[in-house]
Structure 1
């Protein structure tokens, strides 16, 4: 048996509710022959009468009552599905898959998610902690919708990568260490260091900064979680170099944050597919974009 049409089921339910073919025709804005055809088609497919005419009143048969009960559920589910899809098309709801490094997740992203939650509580942002390269790969494969990535990046066909922020990289050192006002590569290289994992863009950025001064320091430990790194600095285990956003809270009192000489910057970009951006993804972009900083 072929699949049942939702239009025919809706016609059947409306007739049962109103008790009349004529009233159902007016309510559904269908011609009377069309209403009769819908019922006749259902009865032919099921091989049983669905409606009984008694003294000018139309009532469901036993088989008809069972089908009408099930039809109400199907129609309600269909209406709900259409409503949910429409809300997603309008950007009022939906799922957005976002990839970002631990650095962006630590402070910038929570601010954006809090703002998005107030304006669009039905948009669900699913965050994956990824390197910039993994983020771009998943975007191009359609497994992510947005990415916060380190810059610069090589051009990837089908993706747009827009400059978003340029935050200073600062030195974080134990507060009881005697220090100059600005920390040079030579000064830091002579101290125990806690640096990001090898292979991350921040690690390469930091090592290039040392290399420009002819230095190749070996870190005491490598991690990829900024909060854990700062905890070790607070415990006196070593110094580190991390980006610092202007709106971020001050560090632990046991940590002193100092500028670098020469200055070092961490540029970030927002990556997404060049075409077919869904409305919910655009809503997330609209929250992130005002956080840009040259």
Structure 2
């Protein structure tokens, strides 16, 4: 056989099955589907021309030749880890601190996945989170060097550079006793109930602009600072709240969530100062954040 045909993914799958004793647990460990793991082993056995695993009702165990090959596979993967470790040390990823400023909703629903990915790769990087409410506060944190990156609405301006992750749609939260006239929320429904919106400058401005653009002018009856207060008002039947989907979560069981009759979205992304001196840890975090966004979009599809 040609050794150049062997793939690292096949070796990782073989080692994972040897450690776990079955295909399903190995798939979970590698964050892959069981069919992907099975295909990797089948093609590896075909290319090597030997049987590596004995499959049975109670799992999979290595054949004698499979044990010897798995031993060598561990050595290969260990050498790769050593190579990566040497490179990471050279890039300064074995320590340091990363300061992230963010909205509460992004801290809760966006950052944990990216931080977990980063920690698995570079556990020595220390991360500090700074929660802020307003976009202008995030801008100042970047300008003053108080934050290395902002994860929230993307920030406009020549001095900034942003990585777009996804669009967060605005939704309507309906009180328990309010019933739309049809199966979907309409403009007539919005005119029949007090509207509750955010008093945050960027979010509130976006909502008011969209409401005023409708044929029959719609206005907010309440402008509230905190998302949780808006949800509590909806629960008490005081009105219908319009807020970003991330900010609405978790939605209480007695509150219903509907799409708006007109689309509103806020772009969520990571923003950095364009001309600042950035650390390797920051770029490693951006890679993890980008991968998290790609995984979320793939799950949605």
Is TM (by shorter chain) over 0.5? yes
- Which position in structure 2 is the counterpart of 1:222? 224
Q: Which stretches in structure 1 are left out of the alignment for 5+ residues?
A: 1-85
Q: Distance in 1 between matches of 2:123 and 2:141?
A: 26
Q: Distance in 1 between matches of 2:184 and 2:210?
A: 15
* Higher radius of gyration, 1 or 2: 1
Structure 2 contact 184–258 (Cα < 8 Å) conserved: yes
Q: Distance in 2 between matches of 1:218 and 1:211?
A: 10
Q: Distance in 2 between matches of 1:176 and 1:114?
A: 41
2:126 matches 1:136? no
- Which position in structure 2 is the counterpart of 1:202? 203
Structure 1 residues 97 and 150: CA distance shift in structure 2, 3 A: same
Q: Distance in 2 between matches of 1:133 and 1:241?
A: 22
SS at match of 2:197: strand
TM-score, normalised relative to structure 1? 0.60
TM-score, normalised relative to structure 2? 0.58
Q: Distance in 2 between matches of 1:129 and 1:279?
A: 23
The offset of 1:211, in angstroms, is: 0.6
2:268 matches 1:265? no
Structure 1 residues 138 and 241: CA distance shift in structure 2, 3 A: same
SS at match of 1:288: helix
The offset of 1:270, in angstroms, is: 1.4
- Which position in structure 1 is the counterpart of 2:172? 171
Alignment of 1:35-46 (within 5 A): none
Structure 1 residues 176 and 106: CA distance shift in structure 2, 3 A: farther
- Which position in structure 2 is the counterpart of 1:101? 103
Structure 1 residues 261 and 106: CA distance shift in structure 2, 3 A: same
Q: Distance in 1 between matches of 2:175 and 2:189?
A: 14
The offset of 1:222, in angstroms, is: 0.7
Structure 1 residues 220 and 254: CA distance shift in structure 2, 3 A: same
How many equivalent residue pairs?
A: 203
The offset of 1:108, in angstroms, is: 1.6
Q: Which stretches in structure 2 are left out of the alignment for 5+ residues?
A: 1-87
Higher helix share: 2
- Which position in structure 2 is the counterpart of 1:212? 213
- Which position in structure 2 is the counterpart of 1:290? 291
SS at match of 2:266: strand
Structure 1 residues 154 and 108: CA distance shift in structure 2, 3 A: closer
Q: Distance in 2 between matches of 1:120 and 1:231?
A: 40
